[in-house]
Structure 1
Amino acid sequence: MSKQDIHSYLAEMEDIPGTRVYTAKRARQGYKLNQMAMSLMKDENRKKFKADESAYIDEWDLTPEQKKALLERDYNTLLDLGGNIYFLAKVFSTDGLSFVQAVSTMTGMSVEEYQAMMNAGGRSPVGLRSIKEKN
């Protein structure tokens, strides 16, 4: 695969509705964000974070957009900014949310609606398949 082909291939991944593919570019972009999230595995860091989120976040070299999205718990934006869902799970676990509760907020569905969709096999393959083509 030529260099141009790989860029075209990776660009196609941005055209999947409702999905953010965790690429090497996103991994580089979100490295510090994900490190901050992983720091919440330690009890003393969770306590510090919960006591003053802004101050804790300011200790990390995050972009203003990452800081804002983190404070607002805008997980979709955090994914766009390089967050990895498995690392971000440390944030919503610190908030006392289960994976299902947090992810349902990313879909615009209630927890019950999200669980029902997943129990029925997930998002239907029928429907919107391309952001650019809207079909």
Structure 2
Amino acid sequence: MLRYLAPVVIGLVWVAACSLLPEPRRRQVNAVVVGGAGAAYISGGGFGLGELAFTTLTTVIAYLGLRSWTFIGIGWLLHTAWDVLHHRRGAPLIPSLHDSSFGCAICDPVIALWCFLGGRSLAEIRSLAARAAPE
């Protein structure tokens, strides 16, 4: 159970922490982080030159994410797919932690969903929820 729950909690903690940053800094930081995540496997991921191709793709997506939450979300979903491939290959993100790619593949879509919803702060989300709630 913890194997599935911990990555979700990590994703939610990331969202909460990022909520403390004002816009546009919040979007810019997330674009840089998703670009860095694209290079996470580069030194030993097991897909050879494919690792460089993936890093190039995520760098372009991260650059586009500097102005668009949608591209940041796309970057996290691409990273999710890359995590799944690495987990199935037995080449985890952290070699000493067999399920690290598995956990990352659960955490990343949590962050992606938040990005697709506009990367709003928790205060903005609460405000929207309060307005949408029936009286």
TM more than 0.5: no
The structure whose Rg is larger is: 1
TM-score by length of 2: 0.30
Bigger share in helix: 2
TM-score, normalised relative to structure 1: 0.30
